């Protein structure tokens, strides 16, 4: 436990590290994903990819017929795909001709496809496909990416988790606008506080363990100072820890003895560490995250709300792999899971107010079922507030230099 806490406490890292460490310890089985590969010549080899996952408009989608891959592209059953994308399921909108030609009409968009040919037409404009539509097990399969984009969708591929993300292009652009404006607003933030609460249940067979983590942080960018306090409750142990960053020094009490330790950095080293760990209100302008989110209605008129679902291992894979390696586990034993998320922004300032996440994962080995059920909430406040971060006098006077603390190379980095 000490390896997770001593010398590594940062607002964005501690919760992820703890989740990842517990997950790595519990999850011992994995899944192997099939991948489409081309043949030696001619038509691409068709490979079934039952583990390929689809997130459509921020929610996991399922299809009756198995997805396939050909030439590195995902194909889905025609009728299932286009109806999932909003096309009415009738002969006026989905038309077959001589079992070779397919026409899909939705709104002002007309898509014409030919089985076995890479030529396609959208509103009369001739286009070339990466892979042709095919007949597989008596089903017409069409290229997901091309058809979704033709119907006004944004498509993104997450190779780490074998997932295709599909969202309305207008929704994607609106979500991205919120994120960009939020990041522009966060550039003007010099002070803020953040409180996080993580609760969870881990069940192995019939044994259930409840855990809880509370994290309180304060950041002052002008003074290059930061405070982090944490209470960790697990297996009957209640651990409290705190750390301070100020004047090129990191201070923290030893988790076992309570005596203060410190690590002094050069100004250049400290600036790198502080910049990396102090920006807790910025979200990445990354299509893999944005394509998971949709704009939701809010009960409060002064808020903007984004919700969605994504792969657990996509967000936490870096944390998982590091912790799995440190525990001597096989990193290939990772198993992707889904988790939901919600971000709430101030409608006027675009600053992040709260975020919440829920994750449920399960695995089974040798007849023993393991489940992990986690809930996380974070509240952001005191933007450019009137507070000061003060290092305890005892720490300044008595802290002993400890070279084993290395904030530059330890810990886990992931930024939302």
Please give the residue that has the higher pLDDT: either 261 or 5: 261
- Mean pLDDT to the nearest integer, 175-185: 95
In which band, very low, low, confident or very high, does the pLDDT at 44 lie, cut at 50, 70 and 90?
A: confident
Model pLDDT, residue 331: 42
How much is the pLDDT for 31? 25
At residue 362 the predicted structure's pLDDT band, cuts being 50, 70 and 90, is: confident
Give the model's confidence band at 162: pLDDT under 50 very low, under 70 low, under 90 confident, else very high. confident
Per-residue pLDDT, 204: 85
Segment 129-156, tens digit of pLDDT: 999 999 999 999 999 999 999 999 999 9
| Lowest-confidence segment of 50-54, 128-132, 142-146, 334-338 by average pLDDT | 334-338
pLDDT of residue 111 exceeding 80, the answer is: yes
pLDDT tens-digit readout, 247-256: 999 999 998 8
Highest mean pLDDT, choosing among 74-83, 269-278, 279-288, 404-413: 74-83
Q: What is the mean pLDDT of residues 157-171?
A: 90
What average pLDDT does range 64-68 have in this prediction?
A: 94
Let me know the angle formed at the C-alpha of 128 by 124 and 130, rounded to the nearest 5 degrees. 140
Q: Is 50 exceeded by the pLDDT of residue 16?
A: no
**Overall CATH class of domain 2-31+171-401:** mainly beta
For the stretch 281-323, pLDDT in tens is 667 778 888 898 999 999 899 999 999 887 654 444 444 343 3
Predicted model pTM:
0.78
* pLDDT above 90 (res 411): no
Where in the chain are the domains?
A: 2-31+171-401, 46-161
User: What's the pLDDT at 2?
Assistant: 30
Q: What is the mean pLDDT of residues 340-353?
A: 95
pLDDT of residue 135: 94
Beta-sheet strand order (sheet of 59-61): 59-61, 53-56, 163-168, 153-158
Mean pLDDT of 311-339: 45
| Choice between 189 and 158, residue whose per-residue pLDDT is larger | 189
Q: How confident is the model at residue 42 (pLDDT cuts 50, 70, 90)?
A: low
pLDDT value at position 85?
Answer: 95
Does the pLDDT value for residue 67 go beyond 50?
Answer: yes
Please say if the pLDDT value at position 60 is more than 70.
yes
59 confidence band (pLDDT: 50, 70, 90): confident
- 154 near 146, Cβ under 8 Å? no
Least confident of 36-40, 52-56, 183-187: 36-40
Confidence check: pLDDT of 378 > 80 = yes
CATH number of 46-161: 3.30.457.10
- What is the chain's mean pLDDT, rounded? 81
Task: Over range 72-95, report the average pLDDT.
Answer: 95
Mean pLDDT, range 100-112, rounded to an integer = 95
| pLDDT(338) > 70 | no
**CA torsion sign, 260 to 266 to 267 to 269?**
negative
Residue 179, token pair as written in the block: 């994120």
Neighbouring C-beta atoms of residue 237, cutoff 10 Å: 9
- 46-161 and 2-31+171-401 share a CATH fold: no
């Amino acid at each position: 436990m000490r390896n997770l806490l001593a010398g590594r406490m940062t607002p964005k890292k501690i919760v992820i590290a703890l989740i990842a460490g517990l997950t790595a310890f519990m999850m011992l089985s994995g899944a192997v994903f099939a991948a489409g590969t081309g043949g030696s010549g001619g038509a691409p080899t068709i490979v079934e990819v039952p583990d390929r996952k689809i997130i459509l408009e921020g929610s996991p989608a399922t299809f009756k017929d198995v997805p396939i891959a050909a030439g590195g592209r995902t194909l889905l059953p025609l009728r299932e795909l286009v109806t999932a994308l909003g096309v009415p399921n009738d002969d006026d909108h989905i038309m077959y001709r001589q079992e070779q030609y397919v026409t899909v009409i939705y709104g002002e968009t007309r898509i014409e496809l030919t089985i076995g040919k890479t030529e396609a037409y959208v509103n009369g404009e001739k286009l070339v496909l990466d892979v042709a539509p095919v007949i597989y097990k008596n089903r017409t399969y069409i290229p997901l990416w091309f058809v979704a984009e033709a119907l006004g969708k944004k498509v993104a591929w997450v190779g780490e988790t074998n997932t295709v993300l599909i969202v309305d292009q207008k929704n994607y652009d609106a979500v991205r606008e919120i994120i960009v404006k939020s990041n522009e607003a966060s550039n003007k933030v010099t002070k803020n506080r953040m409180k996080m609460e993580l609760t969870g249940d881990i069940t192995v067979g019939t044994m259930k363990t409840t855990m809880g983590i509370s994290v309180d942080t304060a950041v002052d960018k002008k003074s290059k100072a930061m405070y982090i306090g944490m209470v960790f409750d697990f297996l009957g142990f209640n651990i409290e820890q705190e750390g301070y960053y100020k004047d090129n020094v990191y201070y923290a009490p030893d988790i076992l003895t309570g005596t203060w330790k410190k690590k002094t950095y050069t100004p250049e080293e400290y600036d790198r560490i502080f910049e990396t760990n102090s920006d807790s209100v910025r979200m990445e302008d990354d299509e893999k995250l944005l394509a998971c989110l949709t704009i939701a209605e809010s009960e409060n008129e002064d808020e903007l709300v984004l919700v969605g679902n994504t792969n657990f291992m996509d967000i936490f894979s870096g944390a998982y792999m590091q912790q799995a390696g440190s525990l001597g586990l096989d990193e290939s034993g990772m198993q992707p899971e889904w988790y939901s998320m919600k971000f709430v922004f101030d409608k006027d300032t675009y600053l992040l107010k709260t975020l919440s996440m829920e994750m449920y994962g399960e695995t089974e080995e040798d007849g023993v079922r393991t489940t992990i059920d986690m809930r996380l909430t974070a509240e952001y406040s005191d933007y450019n507030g009137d507070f000061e971060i003060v290092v305890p006098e005892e720490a300044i006077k008595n802290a002993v230099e400890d070279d084993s603390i290395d904030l530059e190379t330890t810990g886990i980095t992931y930024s939302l």
